[in-house]
Amino acid sequence: MDSNLDFHSVRDRVFGDLGLFQQVSGLYDGQWVAGEGRGLIAIHSPINNECLAEVAVAGEKDYDRLIERAWASFDEWSRVPAPKRGEVVRAIGDRLRAYVDSLGLLVTLEVGKTPVEGKGEVQEMIDIADFAVGLSRQLYGMTIASERQDHRLYEQWHPYGVVGVITAFNFPCAVWSWNAFIAAVIGNVVVWKPSPSAALTAIATTNIVNDVLDEQGLPPLFFLAVDGAGEIGQRMSSDSRLPLLSFTGSVRTGREVAARVGERLGRSILELGGNNAAIVTPEADMEIALRGVAFGALATAAQRCTTTRRLILHESLSDSFLPRLVEAFRNVKVGSPLESGVLVGPLIDSRAVDGYSSAIGRAEAAGGQVLVGNSVLALPGLEGGNYVAPTLIEGLPPDSDIVSEETFAPILYVFRYSDLQEAFAIHNCVPQGLSSAIFSNNLREVEAFLSVIGSDCGLASVNTGTAGAEIGGAFGGEKETGGGRESGSDAWKAYARRQTVTVNYGDQLPLAQGVTFDVN
């Protein structure tokens, strides 16, 4: 297949389906704001570095107007009964079903995911919409036994108002939906600042979902502000008009966001870095373990926060499991995600390639041995793309500086252990705590991993990889990963304020704890 010719035909079809042009607005404040006179950022495809489009970005004055309009929408939206809000989100999910292929391919063009991964991301938005529909009828409070006679004590949940969402490039629409659809059924309005590297996906998504609202005569609920250098994100972090801010990104930037939000006593949901490990024991099914580790380490070119970045391998498997993994890394097809059989696409940009090379150099300087990989690839017809060879490195101390950092590139560090307690110590010695996995059919090993002495991560998997998660469970991690939770389970409570209510329906005024007070 001629990938360049295929690239252009796919681009033209996707742009036609989604109503995109060579220059588009990145500002939706209830309507799409014209781009004339605004700054522009160019969106380059990591596949071949070709410019897909230019996006007109939001400015300082735009931001204040957008926030004011978002609050005006909240006043109307919050009065709609929650089950009715769920029906609106159902209609949005149905509309997204019509765009699975074209929106999924836009994800491929813009961030380099394979088409099946791009389509899967759009499907994840649909799945969370379905979840939110059911949730809209299950926003339960708790009734509590009152110690006072003729009193009722209970709790209820109210929307915060306008919620800010800042997302990263690697999941350019799915993570937004985790926040936006859950927040919306609770009664919130959402302001989205996407990564500039994934602005087109955000624009297309915003257009699709707000078209549904327009057709139903509803106010705009999903606002969008694309910026070029983080100005809007900084405003959102410091803005007391956003009582809740959800941020997905690096630990470094997350610290800055948390400090700004904390300074104004706001609330934040932080989904920061991952440095995830898979433990493989002699009791594992080796075929499942090999596939789980390989997928975890290579999916999305290792640009997931849940990517497997460390393999903790029992020493008895060094001569059996490890050589097979080396061959898997050596033989995996790297290239344009639009080409058949490609499993590992490009990194997002040249800075990510530099980060890959720098990490390997630091690892070698610290005594690491490269088993396979360590190559920046110049692929025929894709010379402008950002391709690297999947790399395995062993021989480093588990707590070395480079291992303790998250490198968004296909580098997997290998460590050996002799007993399970040593494996747990290696596993838990990094600052991050997002996703974890053990491959074992031994019940005692599995339960130890899942106990308080085992994985210290927010996500723990048995006989499946670290990468990826179902929407039904709460997603998030511990330690430097931030401690936030999004998506399923009771993560919805993060988007609502809890109110404890006391009702006295009697003709006396008894006080709690036996306190008496008489003004007569």
Of residues 346, 331, 329, the one with CA closest to residue 294:
329
**3-class secondary structure, 223:** strand
Q: Closest Cα partner for 188 from 234, 236, 243, 262?
A: 243
Q: Give the residue carrying structure tokens 């629409």.
A: 173
Distance CA 209, CA 212 (A): 5
Give the list of residues 6+ apart from residue 17 with CB closer than 8 angstroms, or none. Answer: 99, 102
Q: What is the C-alpha separation between 134 and 152, in angstroms, rounded?
A: 28
What sections of 78-230 are H helices per DSSP? Answer: 82-97, 100-111, 115-135, 174-186, 199-215
d(CA 289, CA 308): 12
Nearest to 91 by CA among 158, 136, 38: 136
Instruction: Give CA 483 to chain center in angstroms.
Output: 13
Q: Can you tell me which residue has the tokens 């998030």?
A: 476
- In Å, what is the CA distance from 159 to each residue of 5, 90, 137? 49, 19, 15
Cα–Cα distance measured from residue 64 to residue 78, given in angstroms and rounded to the nearest whole number: 21
Q: How many CA atoms, within 13 angstroms, populate the side-chain half-sphere of residue 144?
A: 14
Q: What distance in Å separates the CA atoms of residue 13 and residue 105, rounded to the nearest whole number?
A: 10
Q: Is 116 left (phi over 0), alpha (psi -120 to 50) or beta?
A: alpha
Read off φ and ψ for residue 497, nearest 5 degrees: -95, 135
DSSP string, 103-141: HHHHHHHHH---HHHHHHHHHHHHHHHHHHHHHTT----
Q: Which amino acid is at 199?
A: A
Whether 481 contacts 271, CB under 8 Å? yes
The residues annotated as belonging to the active site are 271, 305
Expressed in percent and rounded to 5, the helix, strand and coil fractions of the chain are 40, 20, 40
